[in-house]
């Protein structure tokens, strides 16, 4: 099997990290541009002498960092340039203890999301606002139908993060996504989780639309306060 240029078999230790660095170096040396496809999974396995699980783990990490995008039946494509000098900041969340993991992520969300909402209010453009409103309407539709809208709620907040025009906000939340996804599959056997926060999402959108950064902060804090109360109440 022919190996893609700049890719060589890796030592046994720290396989995932080594694959990450090797791929970053390959992308830089091959001058791969956003929109172009990476080598297929089987090619990477053969060139780097690693297993399928290692390759897939690294691809998931790169997706979370917003560097690549996997398209079903087509392959993995580069979204933005990267090199071996790019800094990656992996996060470790133990979802076996779901309550603790959620409260930990909530602490981080409070610091990040409050500021992100304020920055979105100041920096958003007309296109950003349309996306946020569309995600809000999707969330509202699911909420009215099912009484909860976990994944749609996450999509709404991700749209706000994007409106800051600082990719680090989205990347950090994306890396915590697995904890949220695990939670939304079965929210402590309670379908009305954080339902009381629902009206504040529309008010948060209105604050961002009005470019009112202080009000955007207040609405975000109100949402997160209710989320924290429900996590603690349901896990007692």
Between CA 228 and CA 232 the distance in angstroms is 6
For the chain, the distance separating the N- and C-terminal CA atoms, rounded to the nearest angstrom, is 56
pLDDT score, position 134: 96
Place of tokens 């995600």: 135
For residues 29 and 220, the model is more confident at: 220
Smallest CA-to-CA distance from 44 within 69, 64, 18 is with: 18
pLDDT in tens, 59-104: 887 876 677 888 888 889 988 777 666 655 555 556 566 677 778 8
Q: Is the pTM of this model over 0.75?
A: no
Residue 89, classed as helix, strand or coil, is: coil
The Cα 188–Cα 71 span in angstroms is 33
For residue range 105-125, list pLDDT tens digits in order: 788 888 888 999 999 999 999
The structural domains of the chain, with segments of one domain joined by +, span 15-78, 98-234
Q: Which CATH class name applies to 98-234?
A: mainly alpha
Residue 37 is classified by DSSP as B
pLDDT band, very low/low/confident/very high, at 130 (cuts 50, 70, 90)? very high
Q: Report which of 5, 74, 92 is spatially closest to residue 35, judged by C-alpha positions.
A: 74
- For residue 75 the two structure tokens come to 């392959």
CATH architecture, domain 15-78: Orthogonal Bundle (1.10)
- So what's the pLDDT on residue 189? 52
Better-scored residue on pLDDT, 5 or 199:
199
């Amino acid at each position: 099997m022919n190996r893609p240029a700049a890719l060589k078999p890796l030592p046994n230790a720290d396989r995932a990290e080594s694959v990450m660095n090797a791929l970053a170096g390959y992308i830089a040396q091959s001058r791969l541009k956003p929109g172009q496809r990476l080598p297929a999974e089987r090619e990477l396995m053969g060139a780097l002498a690693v297993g399928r699980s290692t390759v897939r783990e690294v691809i998931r990490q790169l997706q979370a960092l917003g560097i690549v995008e996997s398209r079903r039946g087509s392959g993995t494509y580069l979204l933005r340039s990267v090199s071996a000098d790019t800094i990656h900041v992996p996060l470790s969340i133990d979802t076996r203890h779901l309550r603790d993991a959620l409260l930990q992520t909530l602490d981080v969300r409070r610091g990040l999301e409050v500021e992100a909402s304020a920055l979105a209010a100041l920096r958003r453009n007309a296109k950003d606002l349309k996306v946020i409103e569309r995600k809000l309407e999707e969330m509202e539709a699911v909420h009215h139908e099912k009484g909860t809208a976990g994944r749609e709620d996450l999509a709404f907040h991700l749209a706000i993060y994007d409106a800051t025009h600082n990719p680090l906000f989205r990347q950090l939340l994306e890396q915590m996504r697995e904890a949220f996804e695990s939670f939304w599959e079965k929210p402590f056997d309670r379908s009305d989780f954080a339902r009381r926060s629902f009206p504040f999402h529309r008010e948060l959108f209105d604050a961002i639309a009005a470019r009112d950064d202080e009000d955007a902060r207040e609405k975000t804090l109100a949402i997160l306060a209710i989320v924290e109360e429900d996590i603690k109440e349901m896990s007692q």
